[in-house]
Amino acid sequence: MMYRRIWPCLFGNQSGLGIDIISPKPAKISNPPQAFFLGRFGGASGFMALRIDGSQAHIMTSISPPAIYLAGLPRSGTTWFGQAFSSAATTSLVDEPFNYEYHPEALRYNMKYLDRNSNDSSFGKILARAAKEDIFSRVSLRLPYRIQKMVRHTRKPGEQVVIKDVHTLLSLERVWHEIQPKIIVIMRHPAAVANSWNRLHKTADFSPQNARLLEQTELVDQHLSGFVSHITPKNDFFFNVGAYWGAVYYVVNKMLEKHRGDGWSHITHEHLCADPINNYRQLFESVGLKMTARAEGFLSRGNSSHESEKWRSAITQEQLDSVLEGVEPFGLMSQYYPREI
């Protein structure tokens, strides 16, 4: 296969990539030279490919199901969560499109509060890149490597996009307004989050995270006005993590209650760890996915039930008490972790 020309082009009002394809061995050509137009057509997750064989043109289209959006705080088991979903049938994982270490333009959206009425076109564009970008994969696999690199994050026709992100928990209403995904929120015990964060960042100062919440006037006015003094950073890492966890999931919990009928759901890391294969199977089925042998193999590795409680031997009772004191005013532990009450 040889590629004579690759160029940006328009087909009607659609932008795309034009490709002329010819064979390096003309004597063995059984079909006329081909040209392709690759692009998107309306809707959140469709693609269009126009194939021209000599004088005939063929339009190939596909509509993919709505995206699945996985959201949780960092250190909440989101990596395992995303990997499990990516091992399910007919999924394509988009990992942290708002990770500012890889996408600097996303820095201003780190734990930013955006409700459905917030008008931020840049936020929408980042989501669109994650949920809408489609190139006809059977064609892209035949492109030169330098072109394949340009489309390496695309998915096969009909695959369901799974977006995993840890920076947009407070923007989930805007996410839903932009792309109408199936949203799943994952929680992990706040003391486990605190321990993991402390282990990763030995000299961690959690004050900036708490301050990030309080500097957002709209967030405070709409949700956190009664907790300002409690969220204000103290000289106690574990208390600050608890207050932060409580404040964030307090806001998210209100969103979940509001959007339960819109396909939003939540699950705890501990519940998934208790029986990974069966509990993930139920979760997959709730969003229209199927368990695969690959997923079962991935989930059967390691003792996740033990791992989910490992933090208990890694922190002191005083540190646990500090975390729970930070969470207490938000009233979440009785709902999600009654064992600690």
Question: Same structural domain for residues 32 and 144?
Answer: no
pLDDT recorded at residue 88:
84
- Domain of residue 8, residue span: 2-63
282-292 pLDDT per residue, tens: 999 999 999 99
* Percentage of the chain modeled with pLDDT above 90: 52
Question: Same structural domain for residues 193 and 329?
Answer: yes
- At 34, the pLDDT band (50, 70, 90 cuts) reads very low
SS (H, E, C) the chain: CEEEEEEEEEECCEEEEEEEEECCCHHHCCCCCEEEEEECCCCCCEEEEEEEECCEEEEEEEECCCCEEEECCCCCCHHHHHHHHHCCCCEEEEECCCCCCCCHHHHHHCCCCCCCCCCCHHHHHHHHHHHHCCCCHHHHCCCCHHHHHHCCCCCCCCCEEEEEECCCHHHHHHHHHHHCCEEEEEECCHHHHHHHHHHHCCCCCCHHHHHHHHCCHHHHHHHHHHHHHHHCCCCCHHHHHHHHHHHHHHHHHHHHHHCHHHCCEEEEHHHHHHCHHHHHHHHHHHCCCCCCHHHHHHHHCCCHHHHHCHHHHCCCHHHHHHHHHHHHHHCCHHHHCHHHC
Question: Same structural domain for residues 54 and 93?
Answer: no
Final residue in a domain of this structure, among 45, 63, 81: 63
Q: Which of 31-40, 84-93, 123-132, 160-169 has the highest mean pLDDT?
A: 160-169
Count: domains in the chain? 2
pLDDT recorded at residue 115:
93
User: Average pLDDT, stretch 266-275?
Assistant: 94
pLDDT recorded at residue 64:
63
223-235 pLDDT per residue, tens: 999 999 999 999 9
For residue 129, is pLDDT > 70? yes
Question: Same structural domain for residues 195 and 294?
Answer: yes
Question: Same structural domain for residues 55 and 149?
Answer: no
Question: Same structural domain for residues 158 and 33?
Answer: no
For residue 102, is pLDDT > 70? yes
For residue 5, is pLDDT > 70? no
Look at 25-39, 149-163, 164-178, 257-271 and tell me which has the smallest mean pLDDT: 25-39
For residue 206, give the CATH number of its domain.
3.40.50
User: Average pLDDT, stretch 67-85?
Assistant: 93
Question: Same structural domain for residues 321 and 243?
Answer: yes
Question: Same structural domain for residues 82 and 213?
Answer: yes
User: Average pLDDT, stretch 88-115?
Assistant: 89
Q: Which of 44-48, 66-70, 146-150, 157-161 has the highest mean pLDDT?
A: 66-70
Question: Same structural domain for residues 165 and 280?
Answer: yes
For residue 301, is pLDDT > 80? yes
